[in-house]
Chain A
Amino acid sequence: MHISEGVLSPAVLAGGAVLTVVGTAVGLKKVDYEAIPRVAILSAAFFVASLIHVPLGPVGLHLVLNGLMGLLLGWMAVPAILIALFLQALLFQFGGLTVLGVNTVTMAAPAVLCFYAYRGLLRHPGTPAAIGAFACGFSAVLLSGLLVALALISTGQAFLEVAQLVLLAHIPIMIIEGIITLFIYLFLQKVRPEMLEGIYAS
């Protein structure tokens, strides 16, 4: 969920920007030159995957996949998400410039957190890993929803109800993201386990 321009208070915008700069700096440190094409190309693939319209009853939802991005990229997910969001702002005018920081935080912080939170579980093949993959997709969106709500509420009490509704709207997305992340994980494990090596790195 992108927050639009002009909604958040300057303090929240600044906070988001600072966190994004720090996160991006940490992420870029971990990107050596060999990893540049990998991070960029995965970022492009995620951008395109987010164009998939998944039906849920009468509505279509876009995939987010930030949990999976965390799984595959760890900290490097931060610059990757920043770039993807910047391109979305440029090409579709989703989100925007001043909210780029906040939007990056709401998407990337859950990605990195889930990477560390579920790494342990994912190292055990079979059911634990499957649960871990579902939980990763599910909780990344949950955290994103919470962070969006937090950004809105920090802007002003007036946004309390809006924040609640936003959170509510995230519930179906969470479930679908959980399921999809699980299937993608199973696919990768079968087809290209090398891609999941980041989970095993110390």
Chain B
Amino acid sequence: MSAIQEPFSEGQSLVHRLDPRGKIGVAALFAVLLATANNYATILTGLALSLVCLALAGLPLRKVAARLLVVNSFIFFLWLVLPLTYPGDVVWELGPLSASRQGLLFTGLITLKSNAIIIILITLVATVPVITLGQALQNLRLPDKLCHLLLFTYRYLYVFEEEFHRLLQALKIRGFQPRTNLHTYRTYAYLAAMLLVRSYDRADNVYRAMLCRGFNGTFYSLKTFSWQRQDHSFLAASLLAAAALGYLEWLQPSLG
């Protein structure tokens, strides 16, 4: 029912069982490597690696594809503009429009890069439930306050999403139909404002509840992580792969 879901966090695959701290580190490393890469060889290798991970994670491919489709809308928009405006050798012409070879290659590079990084994000980070992720980030020494902001925000996301849903239904049963007019904008503004007012008061109550339970400025975490042999192997393999990507990117003559 809820629009906010974590479809990838449930599963029993090898990828799901890895220590989240290792997965976060490796995902960050690969995301940065690929984001800085400019070489087709590097990026194709990266994409291949990300697809291997995807296969190992055993995620529902339909859902992954649906996500990728939505995410690629900005990239699609780039395809409409970049090849036509990028200077270079013309390979295609239609009236005043002309596409350049360099433009096509460049846009292709961006597309592959973007998809490779997103697949890594899906397979390594989205396979961790947000709650565990918050605890892992805390374990990785991110500021305490930031981690708690994350966990709190996530906790109340669902409360507000439900409230929002119910308010939308209230609009419906009172004959509201969205149109392009001021009445519609005012109604939506009221809806958002009502959510904000309630959230503000709820925050007061939550803080009071924390005080009642003896809160004195320290958050304790009960979550313990255990680093296992499979995590060692995963880290070692990832570092090797990263080295290979680095070699392709910086030590190989450009193929692109």
Contact = CB atoms under 8 A, between A and B. Distances in A.
Contacts of B148: 36, 40
Interface centre among B67, B70, B121 (most CB of A within 10 A): B121
Interface in A1-16: 2-8, 10, 13
Contacts of A42: 196, 199-200, 203
B6 A4 contact: no
A37 to B, nearest CB: 4
Contact of A28 (B3, B27, B146, B195): B146
Contact of A4 (B114, B193, B204): B114
B207 A38 contact: yes
B190 interface: yes
B85 interface: yes
Interface in A74-99: 79-80, 82-84, 86-87, 89-94, 96-99
A142 to B, nearest CB: 18
Interface stretch (B29-37, B52-60, B228-236, B240-248): B29-37
B184 interface: yes
A160 B85 CA distance: 9
B227 interface: no
A38 B145 CA distance: 13
A131 interface: no
Contacts of A153: none
Contacts of B92: none
Contacts of B195: 45, 48-49
A2 B193 CA distance: 24
Interface SS of A by simple majority = helix
Given A51-B164, A192-B200, A41 B152 contact: yes
A158 B85 contact: yes
A96 B35 CA distance: 11
Given A4-B75, A192-B197, A37 B145 contact: no
A184 B192 contact: yes
Given A36-B149, A48-B164, A98-B31, A7 B110 contact: yes
B173 interface: no
A178 B17 CA distance: 47
Residue of A84, A93, A94, A188 with highest tally of chain B CB at under 10 A: A93
B185 A6 contact: no
Interface residues of B, number: 88
A22 interface: no
A37 B188 contact: no
B38 to A, nearest CB: 9
Contact of A41 (B31, B117, B206): B206
A33 B78 CA distance: 44
- Most chain B CB neighbours (cut-off 10 Å) among A39, A48, A84: A48
Interface stretch (A53-61, A105-113, A117-125): A53-61
Q: Tell which of B3, B72, B74, B111 has the most Cβ of chain A within 10 Å.
A: B74
Contacts of B114: 4-7
Interface of A: 2-8, 10, 13, 24, 28, 31, 33-34, 36-49, 51-57, 63, 65, 72, 79-80, 82-84, 86-87, 89-94, 96-99, 158-162, 165, 176, 179-184, 187-188, 191-192, 194-195
6 contacts: A24-B146, A36-B152, A37-B152, A49-B192, A79-B145, A158-B103
Interface of B: 3-6, 27-28, 31-32, 34-36, 67-68, 70-72, 74-75, 77-78, 81-82, 85-86, 103, 106, 110-118, 121-122, 125-126, 130, 133, 143, 145-146, 148-157, 159-161, 163-164, 178-180, 182, 184-186, 188-204, 206-207, 210, 215, 217
Given A44-B159, A93-B67, A195-B200, 10 more contacts: A5-B35, A40-B156, A43-B149, A45-B195, A48-B163, A49-B196, A55-B179, A55-B184, A80-B153, A180-B192
